Amino acid sequence: MLTQIIAHRGSKGTRPENTLLAFQAALDDGADGIETDVHLSKDGHLIIMHDETVDRTTNGTGRIMDLTLAELKRLDAGQSFDPLYAGASVPTLDEVVQLLIQQNFTGIFNLELKTNRIHYDGIEALVADYFNHHEVPFKLVYSSFYGKSIERLHALQPDVEFDSLFQAKQQTAKRLHAEHVVLGYHPDIRWVRLHWLLLPKVQLRPWTVNKERDMRFCYRHRFAGVITDYPGLAHRIRVKVQGG
């Protein structure tokens, strides 16, 4: 099987991350999967953004949990990346899902719950409820650095795939895998290059695989997937190494 190319926050290297522009670019580049992050606004909306604050990627300031959806929608999420994309807005989970449905996307949708620094009370139930009430054509995969979020979601949606994120310490990931909660690991590529032979036989989707040499390494070893900021480049390298 071909190693799947999963676009990290969309085509993060070529478009403003975690915007509809980035997700559309990833689809246009032939990505097999989309990886993104979800938080909770002050008024209980599921918001797509990586950081806990809006400072880095928008023209605003403050924590997502302290801002309403209306306040978040007034922010510009494209200008700081490139003036060409000025006016891009902060999307909700539903807006991203609707885009993928409109584009007939049938690949992997990897949703990371950003609960390792701020735990949003009830976010697991809100995410589970959303997908329980929306039929989607793609494969849903949940991941998190916070093991309890995975456990809570697993109790609510036991049929969904769960993968564990980690940078160096994998004890929680191994425990969840042993308990048949987690099917795969999403480790840092730097860690993988040093330790991957020590891991049990699980699905490996390393992040963030942006260098050509790291892409070739993952393709040669037939990892399940690569999470990358450059899905277009990853696709071109995969054709050279794996033939497709």
Average pLDDT score over residue span 55-71: 98
Q: Tell me the CA distances in angstroms from 20 to 12, 48, 141, one per residue in order.
A: 11, 10, 19
pLDDT tens, position by position, 10-54 = 999 999 999 999 999 999 999 999 999 999 999 999 999 999 999
| Active site (annotated) includes residue 8 | yes
Q: Which of 39, 45, 50, 186 is the catalytic position? A: 50
Average pLDDT score over residue span 73-92: 98
pLDDT tens, position by position, 226-241 = 999 999 999 999 999 9
- Work out the pLDDT band at 201, boundaries 50, 70, 90: low
E strand or H helix at 144, and its extent? strand 139-144
Instruction: Give the pLDDT score at 178.
Output: 58
Average pLDDT score over residue span 161-166: 69
Instruction: Give the pLDDT score at 101.
Output: 98
- Looking at per-residue pLDDT, the higher value among 120 and 177 belongs to 120
Average pLDDT score over residue span 56-65: 98
Q: Tell me the CA distances in angstroms from 135 to 39, 47, 110, 126, one per residue in order.
A: 21, 19, 16, 15
Q: Which of 8, 39, 154, 186 is the catalytic position? A: 8
List CB contacts of 158: < 8 A, sequence separation 6 or more.
Answer: none
Instruction: Give the pLDDT score at 184.
Output: 65
pLDDT tens, position by position, 98-135 = 999 999 999 999 999 999 999 999 999 999 999 999 99
Instruction: Give the pLDDT score at 186.
Output: 73
- Work out the pLDDT band at 214, boundaries 50, 70, 90: very high
Average pLDDT score over residue span 50-70: 98
Contact 118, 126 (CB under 8 A): no
Instruction: Give the pLDDT score at 168.
Output: 41
Q: Which two tokens stand for residue 160?
A: 């969904």
Has residue 171 got a pLDDT over 70?
Answer: no
| Active site (annotated) includes residue 50 | yes
Average pLDDT score over residue span 59-79: 98
Q: Which residue has the tokens 């409820």?
A: 129
Has residue 169 got a pLDDT over 80?
Answer: no
Domains of the chain: 7-210 (3.20.20.190)
The Cα–Cα gap between 193 and 214 comes to: 9
pTM of the model as a whole = 0.91
Q: Are strands 4-8 and 203-204 parallel, antiparallel or unpaired?
A: unpaired
Poorest-pLDDT segment among 56-60, 77-81, 145-149, 208-212: 145-149
